[in-house]
Amino acid sequence: MAGFRCVKENFYRERFNDDKFKTKTSKEQNKIEDSIQLLYEHFRSEAQTDPEICTFLKNCQHPDGGFGGGPMQVAHLAATYAAVCALVIIGTDEAYEVIDRKKLGEYLSRMKQPEGSFKMHDYGEADIRGAYCAATVASLTNIYTQEMFDGTSEWIMTCQTYEGGFAGISGMEAHGGYTFCGLATLLILGKEKLCDVNALLKWAVNRQMRFEGGFQGRTNKLVDGCYSFWQGGLFPLIHRILVKTDSLTLGLERWLFHQGALQEYLLICCQTVNGGLIDKPGKNRDYYHTCYTLSGLSVAQHFAGGKFGSTWISGDAQNELIPIHPIYNICVDSVVNAHEFFSNLPSLDELDKQAYSES
Ligand SMILES: [Zn+2]
């Protein structure tokens, strides 16, 4: 939404101005613009209000903060992450204002565990997904506080295993999804230096499969399209860390995995004839795999390191997708617009002071 020119304020000032000198051509021009304006207005009103999505997500918001998977359900951190990202993608004031930031802050504080982790829901399990979901929604909506994440990065580091990847909790096996969550959270918290990045890189590069071209989630497992993002998405994050210490030997045109091989696996092996994308040939399509295979494809197509950016598109040029933000996995524009909107709203501390003075 936010990337569309026609939803920008003052867009209609772009209309042709004939300086009151009506000619046959200028009248034609105005006529065409009138009909186009009708279409744009329809699009703007449909997309900007998105009443059904916003109302649905509003109904999923729990009175005690956070979002459930559906209306009247208990709040869950994964559903909260999905709901906040969906509202940020819609990107209108109405969508942003669905989020009760004060209650969200209270919910995150309630999920926080004494050792620094976050449980997924009341009476639920605590694992590295919780830390990622909490850190993303807190940073996107400007309710992040140091206190809220006290001890979180140290707890995350207990999850990096002897293999180099991260497990869901300490003592378990390294896994693509948990590794992305761990590393992205360390970057949000500014604590990426704690990570053994060389061990992580060695583990991550060895998860891309030689024949298939896609990634496996764990050592000795089969290829799966969704790991195109969970594993492939690690490389922009690793690059961001390495470029600060090793910018001379680090490539400035490619991520440290075979981008062409991953694109071929996704384009040739993971698409279904009726639309949607899959784990591997023989599996059924679903929204989860469609989302994460496309996100992985976008990562494989776009390199952006420091001031340098380049595009590597396998096959036809029309295969190109929009670049995604490497930490939040939504379009870069959506993240920028959300930061702009929420940074003008009071912080959690200020909200607490307001509530205190009103009581
Ligand atoms: Zn999968």
Decide if 289 is catalytic. yes
Assess whether pLDDT exceeds 90 at residue 199.
yes
Helices and strands counted in the chain (H then E): 15, 2
Task: Establish whether 64 is a catalytic residue.
Answer: no
The CA 217 to ligand 1 mean position distance, Å, reads 8
What average pLDDT does this structure show over 320-326? 94
**Centroid of ligand 1 to alpha carbon of 280 (angstroms):** 8
| Rounded mean pLDDT, 84-112 | 95
Nearest CA-CA partner of 145 in 354, 346, 359, 344: 346
- Decide: 304 and 323 in contact? Cβ < 8 Å: yes
Furthest-apart CA atoms within the chain: distance in Å:
78
Catalytic residue among 58, 112, 175, 207: 175
Domain boundaries, the chain: 49-149
Catalytic residue at 286?
Answer: yes
Beta bridge partners of 310: 303
Give the tens place of pLDDT for each residue, 169-178: 999 999 999 9
- Output the pTM of the full model: 0.86
Say whether pLDDT at 339 is over 70: yes
pLDDT digits (tens, 9 = 90+) for 48-63: 556 688 999 999 999 9
Which of 353, 354, 340 lies closest to 142 in space, CA to CA?
A: 340
Confidence band for 19, pLDDT divided at 50, 70 and 90: confident
Of 103, 119, 191, 221, the active-site residue reads: 221
CA of 335 to the centre of ligand 1 (A): 26
22-42 tens-digit pLDDT: 888 888 888 888 888 888 887
Q: What whole-number percentage of the chain has pLDDT above 70? A: 95
Span from the CA of 125 to the centroid of ligand 1 (angstroms) = 22
Confirm whether 224 is a catalytic residue: yes
295: CA distance to ligand 1 center in Å? 13
CA of 286 relative to ligand 1 center, distance in Å? 10
Q: Which of 18, 64, 150, 286 is catalytic?
A: 286
Distance 248 CA to ligand 1 centre (A): 36
